[in-house]
């Protein structure tokens, strides 16, 4: 009789568990590194937009010739610089060599944008994003809260990209590290 009641309990337990099945909704779970990779890709738009699109495009012929950069410096950046040392550097060094500095700015923004978009050498791209945000703050310190806030954001994101290297997910850094696992310098660049 003991085996008969044990068999009944087993059948009842099986019936109870199969009848009370609940369906749980699937949740979208994103890992932190995946979220950083998405943030990296979205941030690349800001850099590529500044390099190629709009009236402030760094690859505009007027800007690359140096005339656009010199007019921006003389028209406003000299007055908004953080101190007189930065203002004198702009007028004494940058304006006479405006075409060289214009090309450096244009290529810098494009390289940072493509680095972050493709996930290629993201730590290097993050370093230059941080550096360019810092330079922008020094030059446009009196330019308004929105300009300063955006450059602080670019600096913080650049620092995050240096520390976390989000190019290893959804980026070419991950492929490079898999292809060349013993190449030590890649661990610091990617």
pLDDT tens-digit readout, 59-84: 999 999 999 999 989 988 888 888 88
Mean of the per-residue pLDDT values for the chain?
A: 86
Residue (of 138, 174, 165, 133) closest to 151 by Cα position: 133
Q: What was the pLDDT predicted at 103?
A: 97
Residue 28: per-residue pLDDT: 65
Distance (Å) of CA 86 to CA 92, 99, 138, 170: 10, 19, 7, 39
The region of weakest confidence among 16-25, 81-90, 114-123 is 16-25
Alpha-carbon distance 42 to 119, whole Å? 12
Segment 76-93 shows an average pLDDT of 88
SS3 22: coil
Residue 185 reports pLDDT greater than 70: yes
Q: Find, among 144, 110, 117, 112, the residue nearest to 131 by Cα.
A: 112
Interval 81-92 mean pLDDT: 89
Overall average pLDDT of the 159-175 stretch: 93
The confidence band for 175, taking pLDDT boundaries of 50, 70 and 90, is very high
Across 150-155, average pLDDT: 92
- C-alpha 180/C-alpha 169 separation (Å) is 16
The answer to whether residues 99 and 44 touch, using CB atoms and an 8 Å cutoff, is: no
Per-residue model confidence (pLDDT) at position 80 = 83
Instruction: Tell me: pLDDT of 24 over 70.
Output: no
Per-residue pLDDT for 9 more than 90?
no
- Is the separation of the CB atoms in 159 and 127 below 8 Å? no
Structure tokens belonging to residue 104:
């450096």
Instruction: Specify whether the CB–CB gap between 51 and 106 falls below 8 A.
Output: yes
Q: Please give the C-alpha separations between residue 49 and each of 3, 7, 84, 112, in angstroms, as whole numbers.
A: 76, 71, 30, 11
Confidence of residue 144 (pLDDT cuts 50, 70, 90): confident
Domain limits, the chain: 57-189
The whole-angstrom separation of Cα 164 and Cα 126 is 10
Please report the sign of the dihedral spanned by the C-alpha atoms of residue 40, residue 188, residue 58, residue 67: positive
């Amino acid at each position: 009789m003991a085996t008969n009641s044990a068999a009944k309990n087993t059948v009842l337990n099986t019936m109870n568990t199969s009848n009370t099945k609940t369906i749980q909704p699937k949740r979208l779970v994103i890992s932190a590194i995946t979220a950083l990779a998405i943030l990296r890709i979205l941030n690349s738009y800001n850099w590529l937009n500044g390099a190629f699109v709009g009236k402030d495009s760094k690859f505009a012929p007027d800007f690359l010739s140096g005339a656009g950069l010199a007019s921006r410096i003389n028209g406003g950046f000299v007055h908004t610089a953080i101190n007189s040392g930065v203002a004198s550097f702009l007028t004494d060094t940058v304006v006479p060599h405006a075409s060289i500095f214009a090309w450096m700015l244009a290529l810098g923004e494009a390289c940072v944008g493509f680095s972050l978009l493709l996930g290629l050498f993201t730590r290097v791209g993050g370093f230059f994003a941080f550096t360019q945000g810092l330079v922008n703050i020094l030059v446009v310190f009196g330019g308004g809260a929105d300009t300063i806030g955006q450059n602080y954001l670019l600096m913080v994101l650049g620092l995050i990209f240096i520390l976390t290297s989000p190019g290893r997910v959804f980026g070419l850094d991950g492929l490079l590290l898999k292809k060349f696992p013993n190449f030590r310098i890649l661990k610091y660049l990617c």
